[in-house]
Structure 1
Amino acid sequence: MDVRLPGSPSSSAADAVTSGYNSLGPDSTALDSGLIDRNFGSDEPLSRWMGWRLRLLVVAALIGCVTVLLLARWLADAPRIDATWRAGAQGQLELLSSADPVLKPHEGRALIGVIGGNSVAVVDALTLRRSSRWLTSDIERERHRAMHEQLSTALAHGKVKLFFSEGEMVENTLERRGLGSLGAMFWLLSGLALVLYLVAMVVVLARPTARNLLYALAALCQAGNLAFIAIESSMELALPLPLPHWNMPVRMSLDLLTAIAVVHASALHPRRIPGAASVAWLGWLGVAALIVLLGSGQLAGAWWWVQGSVATLGLLAIGLLTWSHKIEPHPFAVVMRRFGILAVSAWGLLTLALAAGNSMPSVQLQIAAVGPTIWSVFFASLLLLLPFLSKSQQVMREFSLLAAISTIATALDLLFVAAFSLGQFASLTLALFLSLGLYSGARQWLLNQLRNQNVLTTERMFEKLYRIAREVEAHPERTPALLTQLLRELFEPMEALLIDKHIPSTRVTGGGSTLLIPVPELAQGDAPETGAILIRFAQHGRRLFTTEDARLAERVVEQLRRAVAFDKAVEQGRSEERLRLAQDLHDDIGARLLTLMYKAQSPEMEDYVRHTLQDLKTLTRGLAAPNHPLSHAAAEWKSDLTQRLSAAHISLGWSFSADRDMSLTVVQWSALTRAMRELVSNVIAHSQARRVDIEFVLEGDRLDLTVTDNGVGRNPQAWAHGLGLGGVRKRVKQLGGEVAWKEVPAGGICCRVCIRQLSEKP
């Protein structure tokens, strides 16, 4: 119950995790020996610590067992009428069957009253309502209490007179019930209450903190409720004194205490929320006021007050868990929020079913006999599994699915019986069909959740590694963010953050809740590692980190390091080859063009060779440079295109806008340069245009290039794309972009190039 984890994504939390302190993670149970050793230190030996707590646990277990046996003995000594009763159509109490030869002739007759000594009890079908806790009317609840007190007093004399309809009277000598007549339901519910009581004692004795005490309070209250239900299940006609008087106020108080304990615990665990003390105080004061009014009998509409208060407190607990999860993600908050929604929904359906059955007492009797028992057993089972929630992942999932389907089916069954007056078979069949239909609709989602089909595959892993390696090479400062993104996809944690802490190697901390991975300096080879990545709660809290996960993370980092080194080696080879080609072009082709220019026979030939030589210089400079600032490249493009268009007597309209001066790689520079040159060459060769407008816009990572002419070109969809336009498409696609041509209404053609993620491509 008491879980300590790093409080929030802050330096103090990171220090707590990375300093070697293995805080108690969500996988820890209340009896974790490591937790015991850490919290009590070496001053008190572990054997001594366990000794006196084990002795207290044994004493508590003995007290619980003796209490159950004494309760069974008390009920076994109570007098009973050897008969089975049922509710009549007119609200009377009818004798269904009896093994007593004195009563057997009166089977099917209605019992009017019972006299024992000086006590007279007038009875009807309300007697069969074993508990006044689930009576919605204050008047009916008071009549139920008075009837059971009178009947119990009369039966206590051992010899009674039974008055049946039509004036018949029978004298009957009562016998002890005996242990054998208590029934299997009594022992099952008593056993569940005892187990819940023992788990509460174990949690408190293991670590008596506020959160564990709140859990114990809720568990003990539900154990008390189960004990009351066990007693009621064993009774056939009347509750033994003093249960009729205390049944309603005590059971309602237990429900209220359970609800406020859950709210208080939700404000503290898994993370203490701001204002937790104020929320707790307000809740406890409100519940205390209700309990005082219940005990004094001054609360009108008590049943509605309690049902509404418990539902409100349940919704408040769900809200607190949601808030806690937003402050600091934790799987416990997610799981408990889901169970909270299920529990509050079942509570609301039970309340509506009982309220809807007010006009049909026989139907309401059936609902009150089954509904509260199912609810209490479900909630008690949830409390039992709570301390072992993280240790039993598969069991928890199976229980969740079974509990959800069973609760929905039962709640729908009760609602159909109460609201639509359906028969038992019809309502049960309809409820099962609807529940199975709901399950079938959500089956695929459930399977995806249980099988976790969104795990990063090996293929995608290599693709991600290669992409990150290229990005790290271009932007070394993004290494931590890119590696964190990769680890998020690999492990699907609930939380991942970068901490300023040096650790020598990957390790698992927090009892398996946290994994720490050092961030390598990939851009500088074997430089010292700086910082670490902290990820918590693998697969959204569905499992714990293991040493295999640590080794996998180390292999991923090592593969990323190798990919970066390999990519750098490849890029270095490419750069050297480009530099050699540029040098050869400059020394060989450049020299030949220069000679040809000086030997030109005409001025036109000299200008043509000079322009070709200028293009060659631009190309060789581009090949030799490892990167190109966008502003410099734009200036070169404008100068080059102006020169080429001027020679063709075409004017240039140039517009350049960029929100940042990014650095273009050789591939990007080459693709954009050749695409613009080809588009302008196409205008010069075919359009007969007098003007070309070029607009270059870079916003964020999106590049838009528009080339518009006022020539004679028409219907670009009918063009046959040869090497020129095909080359434009190929180079734009190489950068991850799209290119399209369209006709301008005033005349001419507009070519639009759009590259949405320019930096993603090399």
Structure 2
Amino acid sequence: MKAFSLPIPMLLFATLFALASALLTLWVSLSQPWMGLDLAPDGPTNRIEVRANASFADGEIIPRGAWIVAIKGSGRETAIPLEAVDLVEEPDTIATYEALEVFRDKQQRLSELLHSDSVVLRVVEQGGYVFESRIVPEPNRPLSELPVVFWIQVVVGVCGFIGGAWVFSLRRGDLPAFWLFVAGFGLMISAHAAAIYSTRELALPRVIYQWAGPLNSGGAMLFGIGMLGLFLCYPKKLVAARFTFLPTLVFLPWVALHVMGLFPSQSYGAQLAIIVALVSILVCVLIQYLKTENDPLSRASLRWFGLSVLIGAGAFVITVSVPTLIGVKPALQQGHAFIFFLLIYAGLALGVARYRLFNLQSWSFRILFYMVGVCVLLLIDALFVYGLALDRAPALGLALLIVSFLYIPLRDTLGRLVLHKRRSTSQLLGRELVDVALTPTAEAQMARWQEALRTVFAPMGIEPLEDTAPAAPQLRDEGTALDIPAIAPLAALRLTWKEEGKTLFSREDEAYAADLCQMLEHTIASRNAFEKGVLEERARISRDMHDNIGVRLLGALHSQDDGRKNGLIREALKDLRDIVSDRNNPDRSMGEMLADLRHEITGHFHDVGIAVAWHIEQEDLPSLAARSANELGALLREAANNIMKHAKASEVSVRICGDNEFLVVTVEDNGIGIRPKQGSKGNGLRNMKERAQSCGGRFDLVSPRPGAADGTRLVFSLPRSNVVQ
């Protein structure tokens, strides 16, 4: 049982069940005796007419246009007169139940007579000439003698059941899918039962009418019940789920009363029930139309599938049921009228492809096509075995060959036509969307974005959205338009009439557009992030060159010692390589790092005649991570550079201490201090502030120093969270 919870096994079982029903119908039809005549009722003369010349082995011919007026069995003296009513296609069209019983009794007698060794037909030609013709009926009807209308009804039944089972196997938890399945099952048993007796040559046993008649009436009512239940809950829920079963409580008892012959006439029992069911479906569709006023896609789906049901079922009712109810000859043979039901399931398939009816996706067609392939394979195999009398193995091999070379390519072609396959999102991401994001100007970006949307949706028009722009893609005007939100710097757009007016936008299109917008937004954000990174990298290089290279070159400029000058230049070149490659030095102890900085900076101050004093208040200061150590060195170098260039100081004090949260470095000089106007010039102070903040620290400037007329105090506070213990 667990296997049937999966869609493919369940649909495969339904397919095999439909084929079994078709084969049973075929077996019953072929198991009847056959005289080799093409007969039809002639209403004006109330006789049975021969529609084609019939030639027999003894050379006798019954000409076209002659009437068969009576029949008797060999060795029997009494003939049974034949009338047009004996070939009535649908017994439910007989006016009264009493007349129906007479018809069934006569069919039983005729069926028994046809099982005789031979029968004698009394024939009247057009000129009035009367003669008798002896015929030996064949025990079984040849397959080739089944008329086209038989196959129409069989195929309609199979398509209806498989169509309903297809949706139900994929949406078993949905009540609308269940009612569609019920409708398909009812259509199949009704069509297959009708195919047996509506295409008989002359007569069938009474027992066939006793079960085929109720199956036909009950199946027709099941179809009506299923469609009525469907539109009571789809696309909007009109009633609670349990109330969708109310039509069953009305129409199945109606069928039971009809089968028992309790209505005043057959028309009330059979045809009126069909008409009432169709009118009820029409009312439900109209109510659904009002309910879906604010849901464009649901309304578009309703119009597509609802019209398919009303046109398909309505055409059958108008051409067959209504004329019969009012006592007029039907405008179309009932067997041919069954073809109208194919419109319903064609509409279902196209509705799934275009509007995602029952929330089915495109992949659901793969399952359906596989099941159709199974049917085609079995039918071709049966044709070879029973029609051409091939052996089992060669027939199967030939059937597989035909399916492989004909059906599979045809299946792919149909799939492309039905589903309108378009390029994948990944292809668009690799081409149009990246082009949009990398286009330099906003105008050119908008042009490329519109071109990408045309590639995907092929709308009739794209226009700027003057209404309030939505936050996400949104369907408008029952699916005739799709609004695309603004994606900075691109303005919002409205697409109208998908595929140049061939179809409407669907929920899948809405979701697909949302994916495209999200990817484009991400691509543009990635480009902006890249450009921001470029700017930040340029700023970093500028700061490092200003803070590190500048102070070393300045020291070399002021140094009188050639050896020291060359050393500073070499260090500047090394720093330049490190800045360009953004390499950080490996971790060093705080003592080693401060010793190097003390030696370097003290040398710079000594070259320009500035005395410097270092105060380290803790012996075991924690080490810094490479990046933090680099920033600390750059801060001290820039502070030294500013003092040498601007402070006119004679003394400098560097104090380093630590607390529980910060490593604090204070640089203090006795120079002229920083005047308000000076604070806005150059990059030094700004760079120091940015470096400290990039580490999560602080930079404080005090000028003049507290308790002094001049001088400047710089304080760098680096958080201990950056410190590596």
Q: Give the TM-score taking structure 2 as reference length.
A: 0.46
Q: Higher relative contact order at CA 8 Å, sep ≥6: structure 1 or structure 2?
A: 1
Larger radius of gyration: 2
